[in-house]
């Protein structure tokens, strides 16, 4: 099977996922993260790092060619339009039965009340300069493009993070 790890950072999760029968494309636009990932000794042969914008990388991926798309705490940086585009592209690249597994920060997280709100649920918390979106149940639906059905959406017991799984119909 082929897995996309979107916003993989240095590939902690990608290393755990890759192995016999599971090829993982770990995609991140940070040259530092990719360099750190590639420098780890003993990487599985099935793991490849790609320094790229994840939206462009998914858009350049073949239709129905991917078994799982995974993104751990990444989608908070995207605008409404980018989330809509990403969800459509993920639905396109997944094979029927393929899964989209993602984690995003929740509006229930106490830090989601800090800083300055620049759009609904989008805040800049000093010293950060980049706005970050916090997700509520309704916002998670943005990522359920036509062709994707929701399997589960659960907050962690401390209610800081949502873990969501969708399946390609």
Binding site for ligand SAM (CB under 6 A): 7-9, 12, 27-30, 33, 53-55, 72-74, 77
Q: Based on CB atoms, which residue is closest to ligand SAM, 35 or 169?
A: 35
Nearest approach, Cβ of residue 12 and ligand SAM (Å) = 5
Q: Based on CB atoms, which residue is closest to ligand SAM, 12 or 116?
A: 12
Nearest approach, Cβ of residue 29 and ligand SAM (Å) = 4
Q: Based on CB atoms, which residue is closest to ligand SAM, 51 or 117?
A: 51
Q: Based on CB atoms, which residue is closest to ligand SAM, 79 or 169?
A: 79
For ligand SAM, which residue has the nearest CB? Answer: 7
Nearest approach, Cβ of residue 60 and ligand SAM (Å) = 13
Nearest approach, Cβ of residue 96 and ligand SAM (Å) = 26
Asked if 47 and 78 count as a contact pair (C-beta separation under 8 A), the reply is: no
């Amino acid at each position: 099977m082929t897995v996309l790890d979107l916003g993989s950072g240095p590939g902690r999760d990608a290393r755990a996922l890759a192995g016999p029968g599971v090829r993982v494309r770990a995609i991140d636009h940070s040259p530092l993260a990719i360099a750190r990932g590639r420098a780890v000794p003993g990487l599985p042969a099935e793991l490849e790092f790609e320094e790229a914008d994840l939206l462009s990388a998914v858009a350049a991926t073949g239709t129905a060619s991917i078994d799982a798309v995974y993104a751990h705490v990444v989608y908070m940086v995207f605008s409404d339009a980018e989330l809509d585009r990403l969800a459509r592209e993920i639905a396109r690249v997944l094979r029927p039965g393929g899964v989209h597994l993602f984690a995003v920060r929740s509006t229930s997280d106490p830090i989601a009340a800090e800083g300055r709100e620049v759009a609904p649920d989008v805040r800049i918390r000093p010293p950060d300069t980049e706005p970050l979106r916090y997700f509520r149940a309704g916002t998670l639906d943005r990522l359920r493009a036509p062709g994707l059905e929701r399997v589960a959406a659960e907050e962690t017991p401390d209610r800081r993070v949502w873990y969501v799984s969708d399946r390609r119909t």
